Amino acid sequence: MADISFILLYVEDVAASVAFYAKILDRPAAESSPTFAMLPAAPGVMLGLWRRDGVAPAAGAPGGAEIAFTLDSEAEVAVTIARWQALGARVAQPPTQMDFGFTGVALDPDGHRLRAFAPG
């Protein structure tokens, strides 16, 4: 089973959120742009802040979040999405190539987003 590696939060203003979380976590951003930033949240876990209007598939109501699982290959992404679907998750985004890598999104029974991705 893959380990959780990212926690993503959808925000209106990335710069303001980076400033807030850098203070809360007492760590600077490892990466930052107008649409996305990453901060170390814990050993092996990053907090991603993604501007809400650029999320794909589109995010729901404010306060939505996503748990991301880093995998090694496109094949593992496809297998993981299929496994989650077999366990009752609904697929929100079939495996597809995006700017940051190969990815797919499933929804747990409560609608929380689970992203499998292989960076690329």
Residue span of the structural domain in which 61 resides: 4-119
Which domain CATH number covers 72?
3.10.180.10
Residue range 10-67, pLDDT digits in tens: 888 899 889 888 988 889 999 999 999 999 988 999 989 898 888 888 877 655 678 7
Opening angle at CA 106, ends 78 and 73, nearest 5: 25
Domains contained in the chain, number: 1
Kindly report whether the global pTM for this prediction surpasses the value 0.85. Answer: no
> Measured between alpha carbons, how far is 115 from 91 in angstroms, rounded to an integer?
10
Kindly report the backbone phi and psi dihedral angles of residue 29, in degrees, each rounded to the nearest multiple of 5, phi listed first.
-65, 140
